[in-house]
Chain A
Amino acid sequence: MDDTQLMKGILEGCILAVIAGGETYGYEILQVLSSAGFSDIQEGTLYPILTRLEKKSCIVCRKEKSPLGPIRKYFTVTEEGLRQLEAFRESYRLITRNAKKILFDTEENL
């Protein structure tokens, strides 16, 4: 089954959560996601999500020269972002609880 759409939705919430943890940048976000097990996340997926979050005013970006030279985008969460993150957490809890009942609890009863 193609899990791209499922991943995109979850990733958006996870990336928002990482940024809510403090000001961060692309590579750092990738590393956090990678160490949490999202090893297939590449910048191609990350940046469109960051752009989307920025357009929804969930995050703001500041540009500054990185220690290695290029201009780096540093992301920070906004009030709106924190509200969206809370809403995402609630929906995620509800969906996974309900899905778990169907996907796994019924399997145990079989």
Chain B
Amino acid sequence: MKIGAYVIMKDKLRDTYLEKFEFVELYGQQNLISSKVMNEKMMDLIDMLLEAQENGTPAEQIVGSDTLGFCKNYFADFTAADMLLSLAKGLVCPAWVLLIFESLILFFARSEDGFGFFSFKDDISPFLIGFFSPALMSMIANIICFIMAKRGNYSKKTYSAVHIIFSVLSIVLIVVLLVCVLALDIEVEIPCAAILLPAAAYLLIYYGIVIINRFVRYGTLKAPDSGYETSFKALVKDEMNKYDVTNDPDIVKTYAKRYCRVNKKRVRRGLEKLTTEEFFKKQNRDNKYASWIGVIGGYGVFFCIIGVLGEGIEFESSLDGVIFFAILAVFALLIVKLFRKTGSIAMGQQVKILAACSEKNLELDKYYEALLAEKADTK
């Protein structure tokens, strides 16, 4: 289950129910509760609070007046061992990246003179800078939040501020380190095997512990709640379909702003303004090929940089070349798939908004203004 998957349900809660929910959520996040436990616990809590909200039962009857005490009880079955496993999970992705990239480097270098699996060295400074700087900053931010949580500070604003500051710092750190490495011509050369083998060992140990832990707890080697995840995916899809985007000022605002910008440009060029329908048609046309153009452009820049640096790409055999371009093609397809998925969600939203505009006989910008006025009246 993905991190924060319960979030789509959160919007249904109001006032005290939402306040209580967000407090518990913050407690879980600041105490490094694993995403799996968080998703399940938060879903249970939303179910209880939603029903209480519908029946007019006070939120205090569910959570009690001492929310912090409730949180301690609620997450009591999340042990220190679970927390360690949760932290260890954070290193799984970097370990996979190192394993895959170092394996590829070794594969492509195998035909070089004097090549040896244990002696071949690679400059890992780009990895250290690009991967571990954000990881380091994020870890420091998490430790600060964890200490704050232990001292009873559960302010969402402070928590967000800490993460924003450290995100900015990680970007600054990347830039500074890159400049230093390039200016001083520093290379951190380490034998590839010294990276690859520990990464592989880490993954083996991690998955081994996960499987043993699962077996001890649930008596099964498979994830115990796969049924829950399947129904959860169906639920997310269902909720996304049901969600009334036409009534959400933030989503409508995004399209209305774009609509005004496009029309402003057209007026400047002496063209006629687009209607909402024409605007959405144009958006779909633009989006259709945008992902491919983006990918081709990205690869174009990549090969240009290699050409400018004078390195070029030389392959020892045509098989190496085929494998190299196959890997690039897989990445390209993944990126396009991601864009297409986002595009299809956006298209669904556009159809709904267009229908709402037609129903009220308003263009998109006027529809947004009317929606804002309606919301203000309700308040």
Contacts and interface: CB of A to CB of B under 8 A. Distances in A.
B62 A69 contact: no
Interface in A26-64: 26-27, 30, 34, 39-40, 42-45, 47-48, 51, 63-64
Interface stretch (A16-24, A70-78, A89-97, A98-106): A70-78
Contact of B73 (A25, A34, A48): A48
B63 interface: yes
A42 B47 contact: no
B63 A43 contact: yes
B148 interface: no
| Consensus secondary structure, chain B interface | helix
A71 B48 contact: no
B289 interface: no
Interface residues of A, number: 24
B207 interface: no
Given A42-B64, A44-B64, A69 B50 contact: yes
B74 A30 contact: no
A110 interface: no
A62 B207 CA distance: 27
A65 B70 contact: no
A65 B227 CA distance: 12
A70 B9 contact: yes
A18 B288 CA distance: 56
Contacts of B62: 27, 30, 42-43
B51 A27 contact: yes
A33 to B, nearest CB: 11
Interface stretch (B38-46, B102-110, B339-347, B356-364): B38-46
Contacts of A45: 73
A43 B48 contact: yes
Interface stretch (B123-131, B155-163, B231-239): B231-239
Given A43-B62, A44-B63, A64 B231 contact: yes
A69 B63 contact: no
B29 to A, nearest CB: 17
A26 B76 contact: no
A5 interface: no
Given A34-B61, A44-B64, A48-B77, A71 B43 contact: yes
B244 to A, nearest CB: 13
A44 B73 contact: yes
Given A45-B73, A48-B73, A68 B44 contact: no
Nearest to A52: B77
Contacts of A63: 225, 227-228, 231
B74 A43 contact: yes
Contact of A43 (B44, B72, B228, B239): B44
A69 B74 contact: no
Given A66-B47, A71-B231, A44 B69 contact: yes
B12 interface: yes
Nearest to A26: B48
B213 to A, nearest CB: 14
Q: Which of A30, A43, A45, A48 has the most CB of B within 10 A?
A: A43
B231 A70 contact: no
29 contacts: A26-B44, A26-B47, A27-B52, A30-B62, A42-B61, A42-B62, A42-B64, A42-B73, A43-B44, A43-B70, A44-B64, A44-B70, A44-B73, A47-B74, A48-B73, A48-B77, A51-B77, A63-B227, A65-B231, A66-B47, A66-B50, A68-B51, A69-B9, A69-B50, A70-B46, A70-B47, A71-B47, A71-B228, A71-B231
Interface of B: 6, 9, 12, 41, 43-48, 50-52, 54, 61-64, 69-74, 76-77, 225, 227-228, 231-232, 234-235, 238-239
Interface of A: 25-27, 30, 34, 39-40, 42-45, 47-48, 51, 63-66, 68-73
